[in-house]
Structure formats: C-alpha cells, structure tokens
C-alpha cells in the first residue's frame, strides 16, 4: 500500500466515523456534514475518480450553502462527462470569410 492510498483510507475512515452521511446520489457519491466550532462543514466523497462535474444540481446547491436540504434531482437526464481535451470536444467553425489580398 502506497502513502497516498494509506492517507485516502484514513480520510475515508475518519469521515465515516466523525461525520454524518446526508445523502448518496445515483452515481455513488456520498455527501457528508459535520458541525465544527459552531459552523457546519459540508463535503463530498466521490465514488470513483474525483470529477466535480458529476455532482447533481441539487447537491451542488447544498454543498455551497445555498440550500439547507438536498433537492433530489427528478430529471432523468444522463450525465455526460466533460469532453474538453478529447476528440469529441466542441470546435466552433469560423464564421467570417477569409480575406484574400
């Protein structure tokens, strides 16, 4: 076991021991809350690779203290990953004509 894996296991252990599990979304991401010195702390533990674009809208509102409860996402839209840097990324076409001198 490497050093990084060890610290990740310790973080997950301490998170489950000290924090309160608030919600688990359809992708397996777990959302936790804990009150520290009178202030609530909120965070997410991703199911696989840490990709913030996988956080549903209702959970995003809760994470950023905009809402006090997580609104379940009722839309059936499928998450599409961020395609930047891949062959499927959006490339706009030039709309202005090329000047010939």
SS3 sequence of 55-78: CCHHHHHHHCCCCCCCCCCCCCCC
Q: What's the pLDDT score for residue 33?
A: 93
Note the pTM of the prediction, 2 decimals. 0.67
pLDDT one-digit tens code per residue, 15-74: 777 889 999 988 889 999 999 899 999 999 888 888 888 888 889 899 999 988 887 766
Beta bridge partners of 78: none
Position 76 pLDDT exceeds 70: no
- Alpha-carbon span 99 to 19, nearest angstrom: 63
What is the reported pLDDT for 51?
83
* Chain centre to alpha carbon of residue 46: 7
Domain chopping of the chain, boundaries: 20-72
Question: How many other C-beta atoms lie within 10 A of the C-beta of residue 29?
Answer: 19
Given this model, what pLDDT does residue 99 score? 78
């Amino acid at each position: 076991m490497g050093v990084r894996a060890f610290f990740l296991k310790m973080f997950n252990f301490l998170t489950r021991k000290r924090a309160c599990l608030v919600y688990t979304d359809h992708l397996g991401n777990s959302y936790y809350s804990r009150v520290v010195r009178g202030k609530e702390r909120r965070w997410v533990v991703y199911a696989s690779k840490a990709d913030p674009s996988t956080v549903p809208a209702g959970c995003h509102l809760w994470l950023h203290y905009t809402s006090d409860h997580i609104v379940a996402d009722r839309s059936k839209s499928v998450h599409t990953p961020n395609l930047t840097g891949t062959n499927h990324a959006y490339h706009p076409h030039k709309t202005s004509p090329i000047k010939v001198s």
